Amino acid sequence: MVKIKVRACLRCKAYVVVKEGYKNQQAIKIFEKDHTGHNMGTLDYNEVKDKASGYESKTNFYMDKA
Ligand SMILES: [Zn+2]
């Protein structure tokens, strides 16, 4: 089973799913830039997918920006 990873801002409780490819790399770069100075971490998707976790996906938002 493949574990899906996300790049997350622990302060804002937002994340971008880590995928293959250049566009996703760019999306994560912009995401990290927007959260400069915040605590960032790489988490398992399982840790953030439920609403109860308090995390919100910004994947589409940043993929559109990339
Ligand atoms: Zn942040």
> What span, in angstroms and rounded, lies between the C-alpha atoms of 15 and 66?
15
CA–centroid distance, residue 49 to ligand 1 (Å): 18
Place of tokens 């302060």: 11
What is the residue range of 13's domain? Answer: 5-65
| Count of structural domains within the chain | 1
Question: Residue type at 37?
Answer: G
CA–centroid distance, residue 32 to ligand 1 (Å): 8
CA–centroid distance, residue 2 to ligand 1 (Å): 27
Q: What sign for the dihedral angle of Cα 23, 26, 28, 31?
A: negative
Question: How confident is residue 2, by pLDDT bands cut at 50, 70 and 90?
Answer: confident
Average pLDDT, the chain: 97
- Cα 61 to Cα 1, 3, 30, 56: the distances in Å are 27, 22, 11, 11
pLDDT in the model for residue 12: 98
For residues 44 and 50, the answer to whether their CB atoms sit within 8 Å is no
Across the range 13-22, mean pLDDT stands at 97
